[in-house]
Structure 1
Amino acid sequence: MSVVKKKKHVSKKNKKAWRKYCDITDVEEFLEDQRLEERLGKFETKPDSELFVVDTQGDVKNLEEDVKPTFVSAKQRKRLQLAATPKCYEILLPSSKVEDPNKKRNHVNPVGFKPTALSKISEKRRFAKGIYEKKLQEVKKNRKMELQKKKKMKKARETFKLNLWGGDVPEIKGIPETLCDEFISSEAQLHNVLPVQRIRPKPPPPKTVTRAAVETPHPGISYNPSYKEHQELLQEVVNHEQKLMKREAHLLRVTNKMFRKVTATEKENQWHEEMSEGLPQPHNPADNPTQSDADTDDEYKAVNPPVQNKKKDHKARRKQREQIEEREKLKRQKIEKKKITDLYRLRKLQSSILKTEERQKEECTKRSSKRTAAAATALPALNAHKINKKEPDFIDPEQLTGDLMHINSKTNLLRERYESLQRRGALAGAKLMMKKKRKVKSYFKPGHKVTDQEIERYITRSAGKKVSLNLSFIKVAKL
């Protein structure tokens, strides 16, 4: 038997309680069906042709086996899709079958549908001016230009005489002819090119580095060299050392030796002189014993004695005026003479200027050629560290043995090969980094269970090392 549940009596005083405890699913389903019928139409009103389909093909599987599918090209598929409405406009189509409640609605034409009186007058003026004709001509001109561009593109594709590596000319990159000038930089030229036509500059081809061969050592380094070769090597070493000494002396001269050394007493005397400048000096009779006693009297003497105002007579003034005029005359004569000499010197100055210009040009060409030669033979800079040049090796005549049994090798072969690879640009230049060794102190950890044997063993093990022991603890342990 089906158990009938007892209905719960719940208060429905508020709207919230009505929503919570009332079951309205049947009402919602009815309303949904009604809306669907309004959109698609009622089944009673629809004809049978819309509701039912007459099967005239039979089983699809048997037909597929007999009839082969016809191939439809992409062009035909696109043409068939032209008749159908695009998916982007399907939302705008009316999906509802609900009739318009206001059947007598007035149709309002959009703005610009019907020409106004003002628009008619403006159009007449345009026709009179020939604006529409100009637009037509521009459109025709643009079409012709597009056609010509397309033809050129087709011709360029058909012709196979195009130089792929001849793109360095500015006109090819799309730069206007007005900007193709030597005074305008390449950056400014490329800046004015359209973004579509702008081409990135081609990277330079990889540089083929011709490395020098392994340096052969000087024959004077041999364990049994000839006297001449040994002397040549000695001369090279002497020249190298002289250069280093000269450089060191120059640095010393421009740094330390620029300032003279002063002793402590001289410094103190200088300080006293500077501080006592302008102060009255104390009189010391021992400094000037020949001075008479009359001078030492406390008599007032003026620093600037009075001067008599002697007036010049007419003769003295005339002579003074004549001297000034003579001086001015000589000055003017010198200026005129200098002008004449400068005119004669013009040719000499011009020739000297031409010579200096020629010399400067020659020096500039020499420097540029030297720079280009150095750049061509320069090794690639693998890092920021500079590689030092190899210093000449030398063996003292006293250490020359003459046989391989008693020879002493000063250089390390592995280090020498490593440095030669750095100098030839095969390896990056390294910087020698010396790490400081930390001084580690060892301590003996005291404890109540430490025996004398352990202490003795520790002392013997740490013999020859700097060890700090707690002697007070050892005494206690021995006790």
Structure 2
Amino acid sequence: MSVVKKRKHVSKKNKKAWRKHCDITDVEAFLDDQRLEERLGKFELKPDAELFVVDTAGDELKVKEERPLTAKAKKRAKLAETPKCYEVLLPSSKVQDPNAKRNHVNPTGTKPTALSKLKEKRCIEKGIYEKKAELAKKNRKMALNQKRKMKRTRQNFGLDLWGQDLLEAKGIPSTLVDDFVSTEAQLHNVLPDRRLRPKPPLAKTVARKAVELPHPGVSYNPSFKEHQELLQQVVQHEEKIIKRGEHLQRVTTGMFSKVTVQEKENQWREEMHLNEQPHNPADGSGSDSEYRAVNPPVQNKKKDHKTRRKQKERLLEKERLKRQKIDKKKITDLYKLRKLQSSITTKEHTQEKVRELRSTKRAEKAETAPPALNKNKPPQKEPEFVDPADLSGNLSRLTPSTNLLRERFESLQHRGALAATKLMMKKKRKVKSYFKPGHKVTDQEIERYINKKNIK
């Protein structure tokens, strides 16, 4: 016979002691069963068809072998099923709502408010909805036309196989030229040195002559008049360059005055008060130990009533004269209105003429100016001139003054066929050489290093 142990008497003053010394497993099991029944439903309320299955086929009945469903049939069968991604949103609990008489609240935006009704009425009166409908209709039409146009271009078989429109000719490898690869992807996989570069538009190319006729004074045997005309043009060009250089000199270096070393030292002495004469005690003005301020003390001399009255009268008289002058100017301006009106009209006409002249010049310059293919501008053409001492009546003894290749290159830039370039001068790095002495260094190597340094 088993001996029943007597329970200990423990304190159950707190919740912690109750949980520690009380056995509540049966209560927790009961509550778990109750919650499970609330979620899945009670067994007493479920019909027998859900709980039991009647076996009518028997064990000996052979199940007919059914053919496996095709992929198409499986897809059709899955159409009626709820997708797995939406199963989380479906309610899985069968717990009833504790408040059966709960008021139904429409979500925000389902019921129109007074403000939304007023806004909709204003939109209908202004015709905003009709404009939106027309714009949407127009966009749909444009998209349809674009789609039809793309279809038409795809069906075009009149492509020149040996032309420059082929992707292979543009630098794209033949392995990437496929229909299903987009043009952006093809260009992305091309090497950087073979990628397409934007070509200048042909419509903006300036219609200039390929070879411009030079001035007759450049000839190896020009006439005196033509040679003097060319000389005047060169002189004017050089004067412009000299004038610009003088202007830059004036506004940069010329703005600062040059001071000699002696003047600089004298200015410094004046600022530091070093040129003041020392105090002489023979003057009798005081002893050496007496302190003297540079600025004498100011006496607070009070103004009397008469001085203040005179000062106030002067201020009032000055103000009166100022107002009188302003009133007089107003009267004179009234008589000058007609003259002012005529001068303003004349000035406006003059400004209008100047504006028209500038716009005409700007338009002419834009027509003849080369297109801006990049940030650089083509170099200005320098006037050619042959010195009178170099003139010769024979073409064989003439020395060429220009380079033909450079002239053709600049001509292409001026006409917009080539983008203007900028000469980039690379700086030479100054590499310092050092002599590392050692026990294996000979006298010949030392002399060679010293001679090399002297030559540099």
- TM-score (normalised: structure 2): 0.46
Q: Which has the higher contact order (CA 8 A, sep 6+)?
A: 2
User: Whose Rg is larger?
Assistant: 1
